[in-house]
Chains A and B, each alone.
Chain A
Amino acid sequence: MNNPAPRSAPPNGARWLTQALEAEGVQTLFGYPGGTIMPFYDALVDSQLKHVLVRHEQGAALAANGFARASGRVGVCIATSGPGASNLITGIADAMLDSVPMVCITGQVATPLLGTDAFQELDVFGLTLPIVKHSWLVRSVDDLPRVVADAFRIAREGRPGPVLIDLPKDVQVADASHLPAHVPAAVEPPPAPAEQAIADAIAAIAAAEKPVIYAGGGIALGDAVQALRDFAEASGIPAVLTLRGLGALPAGHPQSLGMLGMHGTRAANMATQEADLLLVLGARFDDRATGKLGEFAPFARVVHIDADAYEISKLRTADIAVPGNVAHAIRALHAAFPAPLAHHAAWRARCAHNREKFIARYDAPGKHIYAPALLKRLSELAPADAVIACDVGQHQMWVAQHCRFNHPRNHLTSGALGTMGFGLPAAMGAQFACPDRTVVLVSGDGSFMMNVQELTTIARCRLPVKIVLLDNSSLGMVRQWQELFFAERYSEIDLSDNPDFVALAKVFGIAATRIDARDDVEGGLAALLAEPGPALLHVGIDARANVWPLVPPNTANSTMLESNPAHVSQETPNAIPA
């Protein structure tokens, strides 16, 4: 039977919204239909928007999240009311904590039914209050123009983040023929920092003998990557990077001491512990970066530059507070320090020496595939502009330690929320944002199973995502903590009943291979990257492997373990100079 030609959607709220999304520059959105959002899906039929049908709403939120992280554009996701809306929540929270711009649209029961416990009624407005920059329950179609303009403006401006529009069904079907065409609102950049604050920062740098740049996620968010590179190279000041700052200085840059913190490099942690000045650029003294806060950078004065004034002196009192536009502030510092200062020379040399002295080694004993070496090789074989997404756990830290990032947006990691299941949908979103680039997902067997259903979306959309699945048949990071901090009392970490991941991938129509021997790494990675479509490389690794170095929780960053102290004591010698 022939399908009748589709009729145009009526000029209602839903249709106005699809046109507004187009006017905002949205091309791709991720979602899953259901009862209360059906008018919007009806309007999609006549829209230019590309809707990606995921297989779980959490996949939609995390795909929009990954899309936004990789591109810097606003990610958009959509779901129905009730469970559809609640399934978005983890992805929204993840975006809030990592400052990812997203517009999340949920259907809602019609306004006369609000507050009656109607079918699939859920107060998603109330549920998400703490995890959004702002939100609206739209009670009149006349409010749509203001709400949509504010939603995209707020998601983008200042420190980015997610917003939520809860849209009752009667508002979607209400006549919108009288509404004006949507005009996006202007986004104002953060204000320039106060001149006196910049002058104070310049004086502090000039007076310091051991300055360190401590750069975080705010560098990419503030479009300050090039400004940072110019300033660092001109001033010669050594730099440490947070998990979300990786790539702000390109991998291998001689001034980059690598990541600081719990799984940071020894050179980075030693530098911060010895520094007499921390130049904090778009970072927020996260506990995974600082270790025991009271013992973090004990000799350092703090210059804190951030677009979000709230972050300044939240955890560590700033001696010099510089709220405002990060890129502007860094360019001002660059102008003041066009060349390295002579009295920083000994410090620069010490940091450079430590960088080489404590460089990672890849000659691990044993026969198992050594995940750090595999990831280092993956990073070398992949194109320089490849996007590497990861999940959460041991492999996430190995990616941070051993993959080479040339820009922070090339590294998709759930930094603050630590969302297992983040990686697969985030990689999917990134591939939509960057269709011409290689997108690699590095996952673990625990995380991978949390959103494994999105393999179907990847296969259906023919997204050429390359998946490296590191399988230790356990919850590795939990196991590592139980080994180190819970007297080897292992509790609920065994995943040895995992499915056959190669067979599983093939069921979804995705090419897959398994490797278990070191000699197979080179060929396995090369074959994976050469696949024209989606592909999975299942990598068996040693279940006893741990992530090193490690700073035990609530301990100063000077205490770095290189192995289990219950087995052999190899704590960092001379982390803080006598």
Chain B
Amino acid sequence: MQYRLDLVLHPAEGALLRVIGMAERRGFAPRAIHGAPDAQDQGRWHLQLVVDGTRPPETLCRQIEKIYDCVSVQVTALGVAA
């Protein structure tokens, strides 16, 4: 099952690594990444991360919420991976 994570991250060193690493270690394989720092939002990263996994995505979201550089995370189910 694929999910899209819509993330807002503080522009801190390691923030991207923490989020992507967390997704992988908790059983979700990254399939696509898109995003950039937003000058209109204090330079925060606005990131879309598509992941594929069989575990509950809500659990991953709660774990990513614990990352101190994460401002917000929302998950959207995209369907079964091709």
Partners in one complex: yes
Interface flags for B37-71 (1: CB within 8 Å of A; 0: not) read: 00000000000000000001001001101101000
Q: B14-22, B28-36, B73-81: which one contacts chain A?
A: B14-22
Knowing A129-B18, A129-B21 touch, does A314 contact B68 (C-beta < 8 A)? no
Tell me the complex Cα distance, A309–B21, Å. Answer: 20
Q: Which of B14, B56, B59 contacts A125 (CB 8 A)?
A: B14
A551 within 8 A of B: no
Partner of B62, one of A125, A130, A137, A309: A309
Contact A133 B59 (CB under 8 A): no
**Interface size range on A against B:** 10 to 19
CB proximity of A324 to chain B, nearest CB, Å: 14
Question: A313 contacts B59, CB within 8 Å?
Answer: yes
Instruction: Tell me if A126 is interfacial: C-beta within 8 Å of chain B.
Output: yes
* B18 partner residues in chain A, CB cutoff 8 A: 129
B59 & A135 in contact (Cβ 8 Å cutoff): no
The answer to whether B25 touches A130 (Cβ under 8 A) is: yes
Q: Is the interface of B mostly helix, strand, loop or mixed?
A: helix
- Residues on A with C-beta less than 8 A from B63 are 310
- Whether B13 and A137, one on each chain, are in contact in the complex, defined by CB atoms closer than 8 angstroms, is yes
Distance between Cα atoms of A432 and B39 in the complex (Å): 49
Nearest A residue to B13 via CB reads: A137
* B62 closest partner in A (C-beta): A310
- Whether A371 is near chain B, meaning CB under 8 Å from some CB there, is no
Asked if A51 is an interface residue, CB under 8 A from chain B, the answer is: no
CA distance A135 to B17 in the complex (A): 12
Shortest Cβ gap from A285 to chain B (Å): 13
By a CB distance below 8 angstroms, the chain B residues around A129 are 14, 17-18, 21
Q: Which residues of B contact A308 (CB under 8 A)?
A: 66
Evaluate whether A130 and B14 lie within 8 angstroms (CB atoms) in the complex, with A310-B62, A310-B66, A313-B59 already known.
Answer: no
Cα–Cα, bound, A553→B46 (Å)? 44
Partner of B59, one of A126, A154, A314: A314
Q: Which residue of B lies closest to A310 (CB)?
A: B62
- At the interface, yes or no: A134 with Cβ under 8 Å from chain B? yes
**In the complex, chain B residues whose CB is within 8 Å of the CB of A126:** 14, 17
Contacts of A136 in B (CB 8 A): 13
* Chain A residues whose C-beta falls within 8 Å of the C-beta of B14 in the assembled complex: 125-126, 129, 135, 137
Q: Mark B1-20, 1 if CB is under 8 A from A, else 0.
A: 00000000000011001100
Give Cα A426–Cα B81 distance, bound, in whole angstroms. Answer: 48
Nearest-neighbor residue (CB-CB) of B63 within chain A = A310
Select from chain A the residue with minimum beta-carbon distance to B56: A313
Give complex CA distance A204, B21 in Å: 38
How far in angstroms is the closest Cβ of chain B from A52? 29
A137 to B17, CA, bound (A): 14
- A52-83 contacts to B (CB < 8 Å): none
Instruction: Report A-chain residues with C-beta under 8 Å of the C-beta of B62.
Output: 309-310
Bound complex: CA of A332 vs CA of B82, how far in Å? 49
| Residue numbers in A under 8 Å from B59 (CB-CB) | 310, 313-314
Neighbouring A residues of B66 by C-beta, 8 Å: 308, 310
12 residue pairs from A and B, CB less than 8 Å apart: A125-B14, A126-B14, A129-B17, A129-B21, A130-B21, A133-B68, A134-B68, A137-B14, A310-B63, A310-B66, A313-B56, A314-B59
Q: Which B positions have Cβ atoms within 8 angstroms of A?
A: 13-14, 17-18, 21, 25, 56, 59, 62-63, 65-66, 68
Can you name 15 extra interface pairs (CB under 8 A) apart from A139-B13, A310-B63? A125-B13, A126-B17, A129-B17, A129-B21, A130-B21, A130-B25, A136-B13, A137-B14, A308-B66, A310-B59, A310-B62, A310-B65, A310-B66, A313-B56, A314-B59
Q: Which 6 A-B pairs have the closest CB atoms?
A: A310-B62, A134-B68, A310-B63, A309-B62, A314-B59, A137-B13
